[in-house]
Structure 1
Amino acid sequence: MVATQRRGRRIMMTETERDTYLADQRTCRVATVSADGRPHIGALWFVWDGGSLWLYSITRSRRWAQLTRDPRLAVVVDDGVEYGDLRGVELSGDAVFVGEAPRTGEPCPELDVPEALFTRKYFGMEVMPQDGRHAWLRLTPDAIASWDFRKLGDA
């Protein structure tokens, strides 16, 4: 169940606006928690399938190690330069590892859609290239917040 956004309803994106925004954006920032409780933030490419955010991460990264120990994460996708142009989406929940790690291309029906979306979005190809270094994380968010300051108009 996704938590309902209470504040900022005036600037909140609709579900359709959010889905379109997440499909169009290319980079997100992923926050994880270290063993001593310190946050770690890194940028990643991602795809959104309408219900889950799929992250393609290097398996020998600090992020991967931290999520193996503690699956909690938060992700922000945002853009805009001027105040009135700011917009974004924040998602949080627990990461789930999907498929083999690192990914070698073994059949995994759960990855058919995210890999097709990812390959078209980032490589303009139909077949996912496997490098033996990356694997998939799925975030089905517990909470989503969004904002689009363009909705404020001249206010």
Structure 2
Amino acid sequence: MKEQRRARAIAMTPAEVDAFLAEERTCRVATVGRGGPHATPLWFVWHDGALWLTSLSRSQRFTDLQNDPRIAIVVDAGEDYDELRGVELRGRAEVVGEVPRTGEPVPELDGPEQAFADRYTGGTIARDGRHAWLRVVPEKITSWDFRKIGS
């Protein structure tokens, strides 16, 4: 993975990145298609060093990623300037499991599906036959925590 070169003084440590991604609930996903960039909010889980997304398999985002798997994801928080913090992850999205997801046994998905269910659906895994799982193992992580300014 590429090391962050800029703003290292306010960068989060790997442990802080893990804690932040475990705490926040919504990310913004950017893909590139024929019509240019496409950005959408999604729920996610950070599990075993990868960011896991579930996407409608008939969405523009999914189509974009089938043609070009490059992806950028931002998770951020804070209201006032001195509270702003966030993480940008860049990498390639990889489909894991069947498309759409209906419940075929896929051991790689056991952890992410349960973590997603625990976080968003009260522990019940929902497979609606319309979504598919995407795994993004970051090639680069950039982070910032403005609370560190002046420390």
> What is the TM-score when the length of structure 2 is the normalising length?
0.96
Correspondence 1:146 to 2:106: no
Q: Could you say what the CA RMSD is over the residues aligned between the two structures, in angstroms?
A: 1.1
Count of residues paired in the alignment: 151
Query: Quick one: distance in 2 between partners of 1:10 and 1:64?
Result: 36
Please tell me whether the aligned partners of residues 89 and 145 of structure 1 are also in contact (alpha carbons under 8 angstroms): yes
Query: Quick one: distance in 1 between partners of 2:24 and 2:79?
Result: 15
Match of 1:150, SS? helix
Match of 2:110, SS? helix
Query: Quick one: distance in 1 between partners of 2:9 and 2:120?
Result: 33
Query: Quick one: distance in 1 between partners of 2:60 and 2:108?
Result: 25
**1:42-64: per-residue Cα shift (whole Å, max 9, x none)?**
01110001411000111110000
Give the residue type in structure 2 aligned to 1:70. Answer: D
**1:90-144: per-residue Cα shift (whole Å, max 9, x none)?**
000111000001100110001011011101011121x411111111000001100
**1:32-91: per-residue Cα shift (whole Å, max 9, x none)?**
00125x100001110001411000111110000010111011000001111101000000
> What is the TM-score when the length of structure 1 is the normalising length?
0.94
Gaps of 5+ in 1: none
Gaps of 5+ in 2: none
4+ residue segments displaced more than 6 Å: none
Which residue in the other structure is 2:87 paired with? 89
Match of 2:8, SS? coil
Query: Quick one: distance in 2 between partners of 1:19 and 1:109?
Result: 23
Please tell me whether the aligned partners of residues 19 and 50 of structure 1 are also in contact (alpha carbons under 8 angstroms): no
Query: Quick one: distance in 2 between partners of 1:43 and 1:32?
Result: 12
Which residue in the other structure is 2:32 paired with? 33
Correspondence 1:130 to 2:127: yes
